[in-house]
Amino acid sequence: MYLSNLHLESFRNYQSLAINCSRGINCFVGKNGSGKTNLLDAIHYLSMTKGSLNSVDSQNIRKGDPLFFIKGEWKAAKKGAGKGEQVQVAFQPGQKKLIKVNQKEYEKLADHIGRFPVVLIAPNDTDLIREGSEGRRKFFDSIISQLDASYLENLMVYHHYLKQRNSLMKQYGETRRLDKTLLAVYDEHLMKSGQLIFDSRRGFTEKFEALFSPRYQWLSGGAEQTKVVYVSELSDASWKENFKKAIDKDMALQRTTFGIHRDDFEFLLEEEPVKKFGSQGQQKSFVIALKLAQFDITSQVKGFAPILLLDDIFDKLDDDRIKKLMELVGEDDFGQLFVTDARPERTMTLFKGLKKDKKLFKVEEGKVEEIEF
Amino acid sequence: MEFPSKLIEEAVEQFSQFPGIGKKTALRLVLYLLKQEKEQTTSFTEALNNLRQKIRYCVECHNISDTEVCSICTSHRRDRSLICVVEDIHDVLAIENTSQYNGLYHVLGGIISPMNGVGPDELNIQTLVDRIAGKDGEVQEVILALSATMEGDTTSFYITRKVSDKGVKVSTIARGIPFGGELEYTDEITLGRSILTRVNYDLPAS
Ligand SMILES: Nc1ncnc2c1ncn2[C@@H]1O[C@H](COP(=O)(O)OP(=O)(O)OP(=O)(O)O)[C@@H](O)[C@H]1O
Ligand SMILES: [Mg+2]
Ligand SMILES: [Zn+2]
């Protein structure tokens, strides 16, 4: 499946835009601030029901306009294999965000996740390595959710009950009274969904790792050993006792201090944390390999390649790694690519030789024009 | 909206406080009232005043009642061994409309949700436990008819724990029916059937 056209109304710096995309490679070139990343973000919206840049929907409406609207049409990769699918996202402040596929609304937004997968590689991705555990949980949660709908469901249930339990703890702080029966009810709920999430994360990490290591070595051209280690308080066989023992601490701190909401994923290079010991180049390779492993595992599970969005990454990579990426994009079973670059000449040189269907777009202050390669 | 009369403005203000009534509809209602006989407005406001001042809640089941104990709780034709636990009065009306249930009720007055400031103490849960414990084994079954949401689950689970040592059977009505406010829109046959085919409530295994 590939995105055959994109239509925007009042989205970020676009007033109104309609473009036909190539089934292969799409390059957006233009000055800083012209609106290249915004285009990738619109595609991200269609796939994930939210943007990758700004999680506040209302701030994605073009300044001064009442609502935004994004529409895209997916077509089967093989001619004649199934009908196209039209995806639509609309948002107006004060109203529910509307996601429609073929004009039909979802009962739950969550049902959309994973149907039109994308993988985004962006310049600030190294935050994944350098920043706190929340970003890493989000990264893995987002991948697993796209591959397994029941995982997303469990995650939502868990976080809902967690919020309730934390409210209970806060009330204890105010009133010094705690309903032990109600606490036990929330504990049961959290232990049940927590166990399911733990099992999924552990199982997924194993499968992911098997794809990640070769990707890292392929990308860096070296033989360094990598490891992704899932770290969870639930790994301990007696975790349920530990959870219950944490109640004194929970009451003192007025929140839940034990559980899968505190999980982390450790990234190791030759047995050492990349965060501390990896060079900048190693960190960049690591994070791109993480994204490519996401690409690989999604292809494997879905049976087709997700759309790859490369935002402004050529600046950050040396020639060898750019060559590797071009190798991947050139493969026959590679799907569809959207790439942005502030330097048109570089992109033209890189892609000119590739024997693939491709289009080049010049982006200028919220206007897009197709130009010759 | 600008009004030529302060009196109209005040009346519109009052009407527009109702759910689903905007300023335009409120104005329409106000102008309609003015077109009718004066007596009609008098009986309208009297009915509202009476409602507000005389309405009571049954001390047994917390259903709306004109008397201290409601007509369901005092009826000799009702099966006193069954108590159906519901969120609010809408649910009682919906279940009564099915004519499939002949037991008693217990209206909780809401659903447990600490993040919305509603704990068990804010609801009529203790009175339910007391009711079951105080009747010397008269109550044999508690039927939980709460919404199929996470809060509904929590409340059912909580009540089950609270009554677990009281020697009563706890059951729950078939799922897939939208409850809680929406129950009144569920068709009567489906709702009636789900009460008849209720199933044992099992505590989730940990
Ligand atoms: N809600 C909005 N309304 C109007 N304009 C917006 C809105 N949100 C973002 N923009 C504008 O979009 C522009 C940024 O677009 P974008 O990030 O796509 O640029 P870019 O082409 O990727 O630039 P760079 O090469 O620097 O990455 C900014 O000028 C910003 O002011
Ligand atoms: Mg950009
Ligand atoms: Zn009563």
Residue A123 inside a domain? The answer is no
What CA–CA distances, in Å, run from A209 to A127, A147, A281, B138?
Answer: 20, 16, 20, 61
Ligand 1 atom at shortest distance from the alpha carbon of A61: 1
pLDDT of residue B175: 54
Query: Using one digit for the tens of pLDDT, what is the confidence trace for B46-59?
Result: 999 998 888 899 99
Interior/surface letters A281-294, b for 16+ CB within 10 angstroms, e for the rest: ebbbbbbbbbbbbb
A279 & A338 share domain: no
A111 & A140 share domain: no
Determine how β-strand B141-144 pairs with β-strand B82-86.
parallel
Ligand 1 atom at shortest distance from the alpha carbon of A60: 1
Residues of chain B with Cβ-Cβ distance to A183 below 8 Å are none
B194 & B159 share domain: yes
Query: Is it the case that residue B177 has pLDDT exceeding 70?
Result: no
pLDDT mean over A220-237: 94
Residue A272 inside a domain? The answer is yes
Beta strands in chain B (DSSP E): 56-57, 64-65, 82-86, 104-107, 141-144, 169-172, 199-200
B46 & B87 share domain: no
Ligand 1 atom at shortest distance from the alpha carbon of A312: 27
Question: Which amino acid, one-letter code, is at B107?
Answer: V
Report CB contact under 8 Å: A185, B158.
Answer: yes
Chain centroid to CA A309: how far? 11
- Give, using CA atoms, the residue closest to atom 29 of ligand 1: A33
> Are A41 and A51 in contact, with CB atoms under 8 Å apart?
yes
Q: Which of A8, A38, A39, A45 to mutate to test the pocket of ligand 1 (most atoms within 8 A of CB)?
A: A38
The interface predicted TM-score (ipTM) is 0.80
pLDDT of residue B13: 93
Query: Is it the case that residue A196 has pLDDT exceeding 80?
Result: yes
Number of C-beta neighbours around residue A80 at 10 A = 6
What CA–CA distances, in Å, run from A339 to A28, A91, A227, A294, A363?
Answer: 6, 26, 29, 18, 12
Kindly state the tokens that stand for A123.
């310049």
Residues of chain B with Cβ-Cβ distance to A164 below 8 Å are 113-115, 154
Query: Is it the case that residue A320 has pLDDT exceeding 80?
Result: yes
Number of C-beta neighbours around residue A336 at 10 A = 25
Q: Which of A15, A17, A29, A34 to mutate to test the pocket of ligand 1 (most atoms within 8 A of CB)?
A: A34
Residue A124 inside a domain? The answer is no
Round the CA-based radius of gyration of chain B to a whole number and report it: 21
Confidence of residue A358 (pLDDT cuts 50, 70, 90): very high
Confidence of residue B181 (pLDDT cuts 50, 70, 90): very low
What is the three-class DSSP state of B171?
A: strand
φ, ψ of residue A369 in degrees (nearest 5): -135, 130
What is the CB-side half-sphere exposure of residue A60 using CA atoms within 13 A? 27
pLDDT mean over A247-263: 97
pLDDT mean over A328-350: 94
> What domain range includes position B42?
6-54
Query: Is it the case that residue B131 has pLDDT exceeding 80?
Result: yes
Confidence of residue B199 (pLDDT cuts 50, 70, 90): confident
Question: Which amino acid, one-letter code, is at B108?
Answer: L
Distance (angstroms) between ligand 1 centre and the Cα of A8 equals 14
Residue B1 inside a domain? The answer is no
B85 & B175 share domain: yes
Report CB contact under 8 Å: B112, A192.
Answer: no
B23: domain CATH number is: 1.10.8.420
Residue A161 inside a domain? The answer is yes
A297 & A314 share domain: no
Average pLDDT, chain A: 94
For the sheet with A358-364, list strands across it: A118-121, A307-311, A337-341, A25-29, A358-364, A367-371
Chain centroid to CA A69: how far? 21
Question: CA of A28 to nearest chain B CA: how many angstroms apart?
Answer: 45
Q: If you count them, how many residues does chain A have?
A: 373
pLDDT of residue B19: 87
Question: Which amino acid, one-letter code, is at A32?
Answer: N
Whose tokens are 């008269």? That residue is B138
B142 & B186 share domain: yes
Confidence of residue B180 (pLDDT cuts 50, 70, 90): very low
- Residue A294's nearest CA partner among A367, A208, A216, A220 is A208
Average pLDDT, chain B: 88
Lowest mean pLDDT among A213-217, A345-349, B16-20, B175-179: B175-179
Number of C-beta neighbours around residue A123 at 10 A = 13
* DSSP H or E stretch at residue A119: strand A118-121
CB-neighbour burial class of residue B54 (10 A; exposed 0-12, middle 13-18, buried 19+): exposed
Confidence of residue B185 (pLDDT cuts 50, 70, 90): low
B94 & B46 share domain: no
A155 & A284 share domain: yes
Confidence of residue B178 (pLDDT cuts 50, 70, 90): very low
A7 & A97 share domain: yes
Residue B144 inside a domain? The answer is yes
A100 & A80 share domain: yes
A291 & A216 share domain: yes
A319 & A280 share domain: no
Distance (angstroms) between ligand 1 centre and the Cα of A34 equals 6
Which residue, A304, A337, A353, sits at the end of a domain?
A: A304
B92 & B190 share domain: yes
Q: Could you tell me what percentage of chain A is helix, strand and coil, using 3-state DSSP and rounding each to the nearest 5?
A: 50, 25, 30
Question: Which amino acid, one-letter code, is at A22?
Answer: S
Report CB contact under 8 Å: B161, A157.
Answer: no
Residue B14 inside a domain? The answer is yes
Q: Closest partner residue to B204 among A165, A188, A240, by Cβ? A: A188
Residue A192 inside a domain? The answer is yes
What is the CB-side half-sphere exposure of residue A221 using CA atoms within 13 A? 9
B23 & B90 share domain: no
Query: Is it the case that residue B179 has pLDDT exceeding 70?
Result: no
What is the three-class DSSP state of B16?
A: coil
B102 & B191 share domain: yes
Calpha distance A38→A40 (Å, rounded): 5
φ, ψ of residue B102 in degrees (nearest 5): -125, 15
A228 & A331 share domain: no
Which residue, A255, A287, A304, sits at the end of a domain?
A: A304
Q: Closest partner residue to A181 among B114, B158, B206, by Cβ? A: B158
B47 & B82 share domain: no
Which residue, A304, A320, A335, sits at the end of a domain?
A: A304
- Residue of chain A minimizing CA distance to B163: A181
Query: Is it the case that residue A304 has pLDDT exceeding 50?
Result: yes
Query: Using one digit for the tens of pLDDT, what is the confidence trace for A56-113?
Result: 999 999 999 999 999 999 998 877 767 889 999 999 998 889 999 999 998 888 889 9
A296 & A312 share domain: no
B95 & B154 share domain: yes
Q: Kindly list the protein residues whose Cβ atom lies closer than 6 A to any atom of ligand 1.
A: A 12-13, 30, 32-38, 59-63, 312, 340, 342
What is the number of structural domains in chain B?
A: 2
Residue A122 inside a domain? The answer is no
Residue B22 inside a domain? The answer is yes
What is the number of structural domains in chain A?
A: 2
pLDDT mean over A179-185: 96
- For the entire predicted model, the pTM comes to 0.86
Whose tokens are 């009810």? That residue is A185
> What domain range includes position A347?
1-117+306-373
Ligand 1 atom at shortest distance from the alpha carbon of A38: 18
A31: domain CATH number is: 3.40.50.300
B110 & B158 share domain: yes
Cα three-residue angle B190-B192-B194, rounded to 5 degrees: 70
Query: Is it the case that residue B68 has pLDDT exceeding 50?
Result: yes
A294 & A150 share domain: yes
